[in-house]
A = this chain, B = another copy of it.
Amino acid sequence: MDVPSGYRACVVGLGSMGMGAALSCVKAGIPTCGIDLSEARRAEFLAAGAEAVAASAAEFEGAFDAMIVLVVTAAQARAVLLGGNGAAARIKTGGAVMVSCTQSAGDARALAADLEAMGVTMLDAPVSGGAAKAAAGEMTVMASGSDAAFAALRPVLEAVASKVYNIGPEIGQGATVKVIHQLLAGVHIAAGAEAMALAARAGIPLDKMYDVVTNAAGNSWMFENRMKHVVDGDYTPTSAVDIFVKDLGLVTETGRSLKFPLPLASTAFAMFQEASNMGHGGEDDSAVIKTFSGIELPARKEG
């Protein structure tokens, strides 16, 4: 790993993905600061080797070559970068910020334009892979932006990702690829739920149904990962129903902005919204199966 002398990074948002990215930067020998509203998370990162931690960028000395924003929504990214004590002001001339929330192409473009007006270069860089991959420095990054943005962020991209896709030069392309990926992820979870619900209705043992599908051409990454939770009757969230209410909302917003019909994604969106309105928003996203009535689902096995 070739880290330029004096190179400093700052990770904004120390959730499961952000903490993994921050620790990967430290492991790669990059002096890294961390920003989070949670004192516990700040303490955790400080103990793990942070240069400094704070609730806002205003508390840090100096400026950063690279900033990674790993918050949940576009509004949070905008607030933390451009709001009061905006972190964007702490990015060095020639430095760049990697914005990794799942957001619409329009939000990505608007944020990039406002950052550009401050002289800050943005990489539109959503990520995937989950907490375990993030902790291992093996996130997947689907990024778009200028060559200068990729170059400025190269040390942190190498530290946090095993795979960096360069989708193209235009801000918004990275965001769009992530949104389309989430279309598939969301529809696959909802389809898995629909299939398992039908199996329950037909009196097919769900563990056998799961076994057949995961060994055949009907399988998907999401079916294999999430329908196991249904078989086990365990809806402890890996990722919650409300995340897909948000993400499939972005998918349908993307379809609308391009005047493009999305029959399956719109249907899956309705299913996740219904699950949330039924009170399952904070449960694992596989709880979308609870939108089907007239079936008995496996109960959680006693530990």
Contacts and interface: CB of A to CB of B under 8 A. Distances in A.
Main secondary structure of the interface of A (DSSP, over half): helix
Contacts of A187: 187, 191, 194, 264
Interface residues of A, number: 65
A201 to B, nearest CB: 5
A62 interface: no
Given A168-B205, A187-B191, A181 B213 contact: yes
A294 interface: yes
Contact of A212 (B165, B198, B217): B165
Interface in A187-227: 187-188, 190-192, 194-195, 197-199, 201-205, 208-209, 211-213, 215-223, 225
A284 to B, nearest CB: 14
Given A180-B195, A194-B264, A220-B184, A202 B270 contact: no
Interface stretch (A43-51, A70-78, A255-263): A255-263
A177 B292 CA distance: 19
Q: Which of A129, A190, A219 has most chain B Cβ within 10 Å?
A: A219
A130 B217 contact: yes
A259 to B, nearest CB: 8
Given A181-B212, A219-B220, 15 more contacts: A129-B217, A140-B212, A140-B215, A173-B202, A180-B195, A181-B195, A182-B218, A188-B218, A194-B262, A197-B260, A198-B254, A198-B255, A218-B221, A264-B267, A267-B267
Q: Rank and list the top 10 A-B pairs by shortest CB-CB distance, nearest first.
A: A220-B220, A184-B218, A187-B191, A181-B218, A185-B218, A176-B202, A201-B260, A217-B221, A263-B267, A219-B221
15 contacts: A167-B204, A167-B208, A177-B212, A180-B198, A180-B204, A181-B218, A184-B220, A185-B217, A188-B218, A198-B262, A216-B221, A219-B220, A219-B221, A264-B264, A264-B267
